[in-house]
Structure 1
């Protein structure tokens, strides 16, 4: 050390120059060798190529790969730089031979560059091949050898070498010329690619075939002589043909590629996609698209989620349609009218809040709410229907009546907690249409919500009846991201486990469409909770289903919003849903959350908590909050004579002769429609003539509806048709007196229909029964 210090003191100028040169040498190599734009590449969960988007400069240049397959590594070293692992960045012998040959010929005929030098030349963007440039490359090559490992230098070369046309790098070349991953290349294919960078502008697949095959075979023969390959491999390799033209890169999930490119442009991104499932789902979508396009239905999107990991397993943003029908639009995250797909959330919310039991009877009768008159899809009414059945059959009128009873703001709050981002307005903006498609949402958010409900139920039964605080989180399609479900808590996140379970029990029973058609695809052996939806005007068809492990969501329609006859969820989206579920492993049904339920005596007919007057009851598990619901209001205790033909009381019959019996009684309007679907429904027996009737009669209009404008059509002879008024009375045998604008029209008994021929304008209809009960209704007549 002392000698060095002494030497520096004696030779200050030389030492200073040396320090400057060493410093210049140290900093002569850029920190980042290559800054070229790269293609956006997405791979599956197993790192299989799903698709790529070309780089901004129009080159197929994949992001640098960290590893090189052994076959290609061997071929490129044997062809380009046999002493690669032995030299310090340049090969003096090769340089001498190149210099000798070039001097003899008077031109540059041969290069002596190593792979390291070629990496430097590639990074310097095609500088002229002069001796000065060669000296620069040599210096930079030695510096690169000091900074990087041999393997890293090989990676640089294989990722940035030209392979003809606009193909750069071994990864892109492998797919463009052989349509497979570089790890799957044969010796012949690896050798072909190894010789291409040597003269990419001259040797191009599909051209100069003779020169290309000669170069390839010379390399293969060298591999044989060095015993790198055996004779059989050599003979098979030289017999292989050459690529004729570039293959298109895979586009297995093109719309997911678009989504990834927005935030990760120019990067290689590993996704959570299951390649096999994605391809099979693509095939299903294509098959159904070819059928649906005959009815001018052009767009389909499908999303498959893993409930436990919240990962996206398949992502189909659109059908393989054409540009005219917007094939490039990713519909998975686009807002569309929800149709009936939100009904399960209302059902679960009412269970959760204790406003409903699973089979509580809900009125299904013609209803009007201000100017809004909802109708069932089949235009029919059941009078009264169990809530679970109303959900499984997707009946509109019961759903709207449930929403009105539950409260619009309360339901809107639940939906906001589900983080449906397209629900942008307040509750009053949507009104009661909120549950029938008045709002918009997207396939991503809806599938996310169903997955969150399923995961809540799974976690509750698996974790000692506890909930996770971050259950309603965003799914992910990035393999690098894992979902944090938050902390455990005994407090529910949104819906309690029992309410979710009972909702799914109802949705599992969706096994028959209203018209009993197109149901050959239903497989009852697979327990799936699923729901369909159809928007107003037949613009959107939905089907979303969940098992314990998976959620599948399907949207069908036209991206431009055009409605089509037959664009109904159960006919167009549901078949796709079940075809996709057939690809997935079978799942056990959800475990019953007993800790969140109680066994209670339930009235079989009404679905309410049973009272002493309920004849047929059964023990059922209900949600804990269900204990707040009222007892059965439809069973009353009546008094009959000994023949049970007439109602009696103490005014006409000895108490000892009176038979007390429970009777199922619905309000008149509900009863009117209920008995058309339930022939065994028995109205209350009439009071015996000698008895004083102490039962308050009631009546309701069947038609016209409240504040209705009635249009009276004309026959072919020009005569205006009559208007038929209808009343439902709890005692049909009662005589009714009919008035229009206080003018007496007539009476009816047993069947309370009255035909009138009113003039154009507003009229007040009044009906009075013989007991003095009265109902009124305004109508407006138009012709």
Structure 2
């Protein structure tokens, strides 16, 4: 009994000392313990995601990838796998595992090593949210006390919820939702048991046990997890045996990008960082842009295909590199693929190594290991590039182009398994589409590939605009009292220019002169000397002042006659904004690209409030009645709701509706042309290629600068205005000239490069997709516009109804009052009207 009493006394003393020690340790660390109640309102660090207006993912930004999931959305087997592996007594223990702690202590005494952590899931939550991963006794003590406190604040399911969404699982994936996406490209409810077990094995060592880093160790760890699940009764023996034999299927999956728009994504990133700072990347913000998936994809395709077409007609610049030369040992298939894997990706170009050349065919290995054949139709274009204006002879067989060991770029043909020889374009391009009613950017691309160049030419490249400036100059002419029927002499200009100090001799391109021309025809045929005469008639100060109305900075505009030919340098964004005024009836809209932003709980924290261009709500002019609105073709109420009549919501009017209408009419002739082909008086506008769209509601203007260094096409259709540009980043390099390629047939493009040939095809391609299902809606005729029949040559009134006359639009009060004279006095009547 004495011995027993002593033992009990020692045990009691030990308990007292132990309790006192624990209490002392708690008192010691208590000031450093954080408030665990903050876990009730924890904000998990989640990346910023950028979406199209219709909810397609464009990009995501943030150091950590995380897809937070409520506990009820996580599969039962996923929860069981983690519990079996990390804390089998999770639902029974108080937040710490005394048995595990004693086992770890004994192991430490025996081995002298801290090899068993004994951390419960609750302790891991405490460490992940409040502590570091350093292995010190004081950190472990803090972890235990925090775990006990957490158990008093949260339920077991709430703890498990935090754990499964916070845990680091490798490759910047945090939480099971992100891990499922990173390793399998799936949501958690699509995972197999083997995939669940693989993820559940990662917390112990996310880097060392990662299936992408060490598949052997990862598979062993996965099978260990399955064994624990078997021990705990979560799976049966048959399931265990079947699942442990399954191969690893993990491969890296980036963010599930649905719409490729890297230039727009970067614009969003910069604006969000400016607004929210570094928190933009961690708050789980969802940014909904103004672009639609359909139009963005169409814009990307239009720009790339047009740039490839331009580049390929100028010749093949040769392979990227050589893996081996003739007579040298060839590389194996695996060696070839290893070399190809080191090459970057550029848009839809794929690296390929030529392994065999035979006749008009070549065999190759694609990056990724696939074997393909390049047929003659996919490579016969490849004349040798000499200069931008010279190409070599047409190839006759594949060996004229390629040799075994060459590494080249190829593209997959649309709707086919065939591949085509290609190359990374030297030239650059930009395309941008706006909604002319409110300035929303609906599609944008600043180059062929963001990997090739991060310079956004749509918003940053200031380039000379060439004849794309002319609609703005003609707008000034109409504001000065001229009309579409006003005659201006299309004849060479040879006058002293005091501002330049030389005799300036601008020329038409081509240098053909027609004599007196109506302004409608002059703009449609892009007559340079007519534009110069207009500027001189109105005065440079008047022209500059008018251009300022469209948002162009007067300090950046040339204050001399060269402005008539587009010597001003503007960005595509500035230019398309100006063209929107002609599309919307005279208003200056402000481009924007973020529609709204929501937080991680889907609450909207920002909503754009653009000013609306509403020709039917403008208080400065007579507004039509609802009945009149409904009678207008295309029902403008759908585009311009009557509630926008609030003046504070209206974009500022900068030119009259009548002025905008007359410019649009001239731009319509740029595409449709005029005259009578049957009577040999027909003529084409510079944008005639858009006739392939078979629509009568297209309005545009081409633009080409001196020496063809820049090619432009800008214009609009119902609900959309688009600017397309092509040029070299090197300002000294012009777009050149191509000769006829006998391998390609009669439909090929060749000759000099200019706006209608080089930039307009991308404009047409985008419009073709954007306007599918959109009914024709010609620009409505505003109040104050009248139509009269005029004589084609003189612009005066005509009594004739044949091919020599046409109906023309005029601002009421500016229509001609005289009739054209008989033929024998026609010359005199023209001289009376000409500028």
The correspondence of residues 71-90 of structure 1 with structure 2, limited to 5 A, is: 72=74, 74=76, 76-81=78-83
Aligned to 1:162, the other structure's residue is in SS state coil
What is the rounded CA distance, in whole Å, between the counterparts of 1:608 and 1:402 in structure 2?
A: 17
Q: Is the 8 A contact 2:524 2:685 kept in 1?
A: no
**What are the Cα deviations for residues 593-624 of structure 1, in whole angstroms up to 9, with x where unaligned?**
44523334342235646389999876654334
Q: Is the 8 A contact 2:701 2:714 kept in 1?
A: yes
Is 2:212 the partner of 1:206?
A: yes
**What are the Cα deviations for residues 233-265 of structure 1, in whole angstroms up to 9, with x where unaligned?**
998998574224565985922222333333434
**What are the Cα deviations for residues 46-92 of structure 1, in whole angstroms up to 9, with x where unaligned?**
44432356x6xxxx424x65556966565653333489999999943
The residue that corresponds to 1:436 in the other structure is 565
Aligned to 1:101, the other structure's residue is in SS state helix
Instruction: Give the C-alpha shift of residue 406 in structure 1.
Output: 2.9
Instruction: Give the C-alpha shift of residue 306 in structure 1.
Output: 3.0
Q: Is the 8 A contact 1:383 1:670 kept in 2?
A: no
The residue that corresponds to 2:591 in the other structure is 474
Is 2:467 the partner of 1:340?
A: yes
Compared with structure 1, are the counterparts of its residues 102 and 607 closer, same or farther at alpha carbon in structure 2 (3 Å cutoff)?
Answer: farther
Compared with structure 1, are the counterparts of its residues 612 and 302 closer, same or farther at alpha carbon in structure 2 (3 Å cutoff)?
Answer: closer
The residue that corresponds to 1:404 in the other structure is 536
TM-score by length of 1: 0.64
What is the rounded CA distance, in whole Å, between the counterparts of 1:187 and 1:583 in structure 2?
A: 44
The residue that corresponds to 2:610 in the other structure is 484
Q: Please tell me whether Structure 1 or Structure 2 has the larger radius of gyration of its CA atoms.
A: 1
Is 2:460 the partner of 1:290?
A: no
What is the rounded CA distance, in whole Å, between the counterparts of 1:610 and 1:156 in structure 2?
A: 82
The residue that corresponds to 1:299 in the other structure is 428
Task: Select the residue among 226, 241, 249 that pairs with 1:242.
Answer: 249
The correspondence of residues 448-467 of structure 1 with structure 2, limited to 5 A, is: 448-456=577-585
What is the rounded CA distance, in whole Å, between the counterparts of 2:809 and 2:157 in structure 1?
A: 66
What is the rounded CA distance, in whole Å, between the counterparts of 1:628 and 1:150 in structure 2?
A: 83
Compared with structure 1, are the counterparts of its residues 145 and 94 closer, same or farther at alpha carbon in structure 2 (3 Å cutoff)?
Answer: closer
The correspondence of residues 629-778 of structure 1 with structure 2, limited to 5 A, is: 631-632=817-818, 635-636=820-821, 665-667=829-831
The residue that corresponds to 1:126 in the other structure is 132
The correspondence of residues 209-288 of structure 1 with structure 2, limited to 5 A, is: 209-213=215-219, 215-216=221-222, 241-244=248-251, 252-265=260-273, 267=281, 268=285, 270-272=287-289, 273-288=291-306
Q: Is the 8 A contact 2:492 2:513 kept in 1?
A: yes
Compared with structure 1, are the counterparts of its residues 258 and 180 closer, same or farther at alpha carbon in structure 2 (3 Å cutoff)?
Answer: farther
Compared with structure 1, are the counterparts of its residues 293 and 485 closer, same or farther at alpha carbon in structure 2 (3 Å cutoff)?
Answer: same
Compared with structure 1, are the counterparts of its residues 97 and 302 closer, same or farther at alpha carbon in structure 2 (3 Å cutoff)?
Answer: farther
What is the rounded CA distance, in whole Å, between the counterparts of 1:401 and 1:161 in structure 2?
A: 72
What is the rounded CA distance, in whole Å, between the counterparts of 1:395 and 1:387 in structure 2?
A: 10
**What are the Cα deviations for residues 429-456 of structure 1, in whole angstroms up to 9, with x where unaligned?**
4312213121111111112222344234
The residue that corresponds to 2:700 in the other structure is 530
Instruction: Give the C-alpha shift of residue 377 in structure 1.
Output: 0.8
Instruction: Give the C-alpha shift of residue 539 in structure 1.
Output: 1.2
What is the rounded CA distance, in whole Å, between the counterparts of 1:233 and 1:548 in structure 2?
A: 62
What is the rounded CA distance, in whole Å, between the counterparts of 1:46 and 1:234 in structure 2?
A: 46
Q: Is the 8 A contact 1:203 1:212 kept in 2?
A: yes
Q: Is the 8 A contact 1:308 1:549 kept in 2?
A: yes
Q: Is the 8 A contact 1:304 1:552 kept in 2?
A: yes
Instruction: Give the C-alpha shift of residue 329 in structure 1.
Output: 1.4
The residue that corresponds to 2:810 in the other structure is 622
Aligned to 2:249, the other structure's residue is in SS state coil
Q: Higher mean Cα deviation, 216-225 or 277-286?
A: 216-225
Aligned to 1:438, the other structure's residue is in SS state coil
The residue that corresponds to 2:485 in the other structure is 359
Q: Higher mean Cα deviation, 483-492 or 607-616?
A: 607-616
Instruction: Give the C-alpha shift of residue 533 in structure 1.
Output: 0.8
Is 2:332 the partner of 1:314?
A: no
Aligned to 1:340, the other structure's residue is in SS state helix
Aligned to 1:596, the other structure's residue is in SS state coil
Compared with structure 1, are the counterparts of its residues 113 and 450 closer, same or farther at alpha carbon in structure 2 (3 Å cutoff)?
Answer: farther
The residue that corresponds to 1:50 in the other structure is 58
What is the rounded CA distance, in whole Å, between the counterparts of 2:241 and 2:475 in structure 1?
A: 68
Task: Select the residue among 738, 752, 756 that pairs with 1:570.
Answer: 756
Compared with structure 1, are the counterparts of its residues 667 and 394 closer, same or farther at alpha carbon in structure 2 (3 Å cutoff)?
Answer: same
Compared with structure 1, are the counterparts of its residues 35 and 617 closer, same or farther at alpha carbon in structure 2 (3 Å cutoff)?
Answer: closer
What is the rounded CA distance, in whole Å, between the counterparts of 1:345 and 1:171 in structure 2?
A: 54
Aligned to 1:128, the other structure's residue is in SS state coil
Higher relative contact order (CA 8 A, sep 6+): 2
Compared with structure 1, are the counterparts of its residues 165 and 600 closer, same or farther at alpha carbon in structure 2 (3 Å cutoff)?
Answer: closer
What is the rounded CA distance, in whole Å, between the counterparts of 1:549 and 1:183 in structure 2?
A: 42
The residue that corresponds to 2:555 in the other structure is 424
Is 2:504 the partner of 1:372?
A: yes
Compared with structure 1, are the counterparts of its residues 583 and 23 closer, same or farther at alpha carbon in structure 2 (3 Å cutoff)?
Answer: same
**What are the Cα deviations for residues 723-766 of structure 1, in whole angstroms up to 9, with x where unaligned?**
xxxxxxxxxxxxxxxxxxxxxxxxxxxxxxxxxxxxxxxxxxxx
Q: Is the 8 A contact 1:76 1:194 kept in 2?
A: yes
Instruction: Give the C-alpha shift of residue 590 in structure 1.
Output: 4.1
What is the rounded CA distance, in whole Å, between the counterparts of 1:552 and 1:155 in structure 2?
A: 49
Task: Select the residue among 498, 509, 524 that pairs with 2:658.
Answer: 498
Instruction: Give the C-alpha shift of residue 189 in structure 1.
Output: 5.0
Q: Is the 8 A contact 1:341 1:542 kept in 2?
A: yes
The residue that corresponds to 1:95 in the other structure is 97
Q: Tell me how large the CA RMSD over aligned residues is.
A: 4.9
Ranges in structure 2 where 5+ consecutive residues have no aligned partner: 1-25, 315-387, 389-425, 497-502, 598-606, 621-651, 674-682, 737-751
Task: Select the residue among 377, 389, 393 that pairs with 2:525.
Answer: 393
Q: Higher mean Cα deviation, 101-110 or 298-307?
A: 101-110
Q: Is the 8 A contact 1:25 1:143 kept in 2?
A: no
The residue that corresponds to 1:61 in the other structure is 64
What is the rounded CA distance, in whole Å, between the counterparts of 2:514 and 2:666 in structure 1?
A: 18
What is the rounded CA distance, in whole Å, between the counterparts of 2:725 and 2:523 in structure 1?
A: 20
